[in-house]
Structure 1
Amino acid sequence: MWADTSVKLGNMFGAVAGFLGVLLLLFYLAGFARGRLSRRLAILFLLGPAVLLLLVGIVVPAVRTIYLSLYNEDSTKFLGGGNYTWAFGNSDIHQVLLNTLLWIVIAPILTTGLGLVLALLVDRLRGQAVYKSLIFMPMAISFVGASIIWKFVYAYRDPSQPQIGLLSQICMWLGWHHPPNWILSHPLNNFLLMIIMIWVQTGFAMVVLSAAIKAIPEDVTEAAVLDGAQGWRLFSNVTIPMIRSTIIVVLTTVMITTLKLFDIIRTMTGGNFGTQVLANEMYSQAFTEFNNGRAGALAVLLFLAVVPLVAYNVAMLRKEREVR
């Protein structure tokens, strides 16, 4: 086992070293070029490796995935759109798509809204850097780590036994002596899992929105105050319009993260108890059911869902940059 691992590591490091060696050789040869040729070679040598890596790492796998989605589980029989028909005609996949839709609607909105509220509140406190660091800290934890933490929060035991789950114990302190098994309770479990995503991502939303609020020109705010805008009117008529593009960027960024959601579901429930989402179903089809065709079809659907959000996000960033 260790011998195979060492061979694989050696091959990997050898490939990286070879790639870097070729780059250095190309840059060395480019140094001898003169005139227009030197500019063209510089562009070729600087962009070439990036384009090559893009092709090898993204384009080729994407084309391969689309190809697999058109065939059966072992790619021996062409099905055309059969796997896509299965995806849209299967009741279990309907539940998966519904869960995914709930995630991409509820989690990003609550995350962005909570981040905005915290940005407004924390900016008014003394020692705001400390509070922001504490709120942002969950971002340093992986989704797997966060899921393990919250697994203890949602842990369930029979009411006759000592509780190790924080939520169950709080319920019993408040007089609810028979709390449910939180992870098994559908559809409640989906919303409880969303809390993990919100907990992790709220710090990101708060920091970005706080920076956007601080970037609002003071003369704009002062002019609004002189016109009688205070409190909610100032917030709704001045603050929100001035940071609208940032809000949209944060919202779409969290949506993209949510669409690719895998770690939380895999760690907490494995996709059971009515909590399955698209990314985890894709993994299950590929590595549990060993059906590359269906996994490829789900991957293509996930890709098609993410691309518009990414494109819109890029467009908003460009628009914001032009305004600045």
Structure 2
Amino acid sequence: MSTGEKLLQALLIIAIFFAVIAIILAATSRLHSRVGEIIQSAAFVLPASLLIGVGLLYPAINSIYLSFKDRYSNHFVGFDNYKTIFTDADLLRVLANTAVWVVVTPIVATAIGLVYAVLVDHARFEKTAKALIFLPMAISLVGASLIWKFVYDDRIGILNATTDALGLGRHHWLINSPWNTFWLIIILIWVQAGFAMTVLSASIKAIPNDIVEAARLDGVGGWRMFRYITVPSIRPTIIVVLTTITITTLKAFDIVRQTTGGNYKTSVLSYEYYRQSFQSANWGLGSALAVLIFVLVLPVVIYNIRQMRQLEAR
């Protein structure tokens, strides 16, 4: 398909969208009663609900269904796929890698963002400093992975050039396990630290001046101000940032795909799902991995929503 055909197709889709909206508005514009308002609301909500059902609910239900079937989705095998996940040596390594990602990335990224936000708060160069750490957020995970892949490159990588100049020799950063997992985690920390800094900085600036001034009058400053005033005041925001980065970490497919391709014992759940489903055509095991990711993400999402509601209520 040529570029012109793609552009024409995009314009056609946009035209259809506006035509549907116009039809809904024309059909419901004269409905002024209570029942009419309900009909008008339903006219807008139902198409969106239908798309959510087709795009989200049906795939989720179908994945759960396929997770109980064999490799080719021909026969039911019960919980065999889930048993494989927790007994197969390679998949246990995948679970261990995922656990390391989930523990290290949110904590380190949030800590860096918090410390950075506190250090540059009210500084003369605050805007420039924040812009520098936020810049990686403007890069997709694929782009960030490609950048760091060159950094870690055995021959032309800047990291090996630095260690070689310091007399520490050259190293295969992305090959040697288990340290290669931590080198990949650095990529996501580099991207997410800017997000953590931005959100936490806004929360720090929202701390009432009365509290800060009262603490200073009592002789509180430096580390004690950070520990007893800043952190307790922004605790709900810290939790929201931690949970949000945790959800992102559980979906860290792009980084593994672009750097190691899941080789050298670096695979994680999201990449293993892709490998089993689309490379090995093992739809049963792939679906079970997808369901496991959903089960791990769901409680974090629920907790995150509760924390955000508490923030809005304050």
Q: How does the TM-score come out when normalised to structure 1? A: 0.92
Cα distance in 2, alignment partners of residues 14 and 84 from structure 1: 44
Cα distance in 1, alignment partners of residues 226 and 16 from structure 2: 57
Residues 1:272 and 2:270 are matched in the alignment: no
Q: Aligned ranges for residues 98-247 of structure 1 at < 5 Å?
A: 98-157=96-155, 164-177=156-169, 179-247=170-238
Matched residue type, 1:128: E
Deviations 1:157-205 (A, max 9, x none): 3xxxxxx11111111111113x321111111101111110011111111
Cα distance in 1, alignment partners of residues 208 and 136 from structure 2: 31
The answer for the alignment partner of 1:302 in structure 2 is 293
Cα distance in 2, alignment partners of residues 16 and 310 from structure 1: 32
Matched residue type, 2:70: N
Cα distance in 2, alignment partners of residues 61 and 140 from structure 1: 30
Cα distance in 1, alignment partners of residues 194 and 290 from structure 2: 29
- The 4+ residue runs of structure 1 with deviation greater than 2 A are 12-24
Tell which deviates more after alignment, 13-22 or 101-110: 13-22
Q: Aligned ranges for residues 55-134 of structure 1 at < 5 Å?
A: 55-134=53-132
Cα distance in 2, alignment partners of residues 275 and 200 from structure 1: 19
Cα distance in 2, alignment partners of residues 169 and 22 from structure 1: 59
Tell which deviates more after alignment, 205-214 or 15-24: 15-24
Q: For 1:274, what is the secondary structure of its paired residue?
A: coil
Cα distance in 2, alignment partners of residues 274 and 110 from structure 1: 22
Deviations 1:227-249 (A, max 9, x none): 22111111111110000000111
Q: For 1:182, what is the secondary structure of its paired residue?
A: coil
> Do the aligned partners of 2:31 and 2:40 also contact (CA within 8 Å) in 1?
no
Matched residue type, 1:176: L
Q: For 1:150, what is the secondary structure of its paired residue?
A: helix
Cα distance in 2, alignment partners of residues 98 and 40 from structure 1: 51
Match of 2:243 among 247, 252, 260: 252
Deviation for aligned residue 1:100: 0.2
Identify if the C-alpha distance between structure 1 residues 25 and 317 changes in structure 2 by more than 3 Å, giving closer, same or farther.
same
Cα distance in 2, alignment partners of residues 27 and 44 from structure 1: 12
Cα distance in 2, alignment partners of residues 206 and 123 from structure 1: 11
Deviation for aligned residue 1:81: 1.4
Q: For 1:89, what is the secondary structure of its paired residue?
A: coil
Cα distance in 1, alignment partners of residues 205 and 265 from structure 2: 42
> Do the aligned partners of 2:24 and 2:44 also contact (CA within 8 Å) in 1?
no
Matched residue type, 2:213: E
Cα distance in 2, alignment partners of residues 14 and 59 from structure 1: 27
Q: For 2:86, what is the secondary structure of its paired residue?
A: helix
How many percent identity over aligned positions?
Answer: 47
The answer for the alignment partner of 1:160 in structure 2 is none
Cα distance in 2, alignment partners of residues 133 and 279 from structure 1: 31
Deviation for aligned residue 1:42: 1.9
- Show structure 1 runs of 5+ residues with no match: 158-163
Q: For 2:30, what is the secondary structure of its paired residue?
A: coil
Cα distance in 1, alignment partners of residues 288 and 12 from structure 2: 35
Q: For 2:70, what is the secondary structure of its paired residue?
A: coil
Matched residue type, 1:89: T
Deviation for aligned residue 1:34: 3.2
Deviations 1:62-94 (A, max 9, x none): 111111111122211111212111111211111
Cα distance in 1, alignment partners of residues 72 and 13 from structure 2: 30
Q: Alignment RMSD, CA only? A: 1.9
Cα distance in 1, alignment partners of residues 186 and 17 from structure 2: 44
Tell which deviates more after alignment, 201-210 or 67-76: 67-76
Q: For 1:183, what is the secondary structure of its paired residue?
A: coil
Tell which deviates more after alignment, 124-133 or 301-310: 124-133
Cα distance in 2, alignment partners of residues 291 and 20 from structure 1: 41
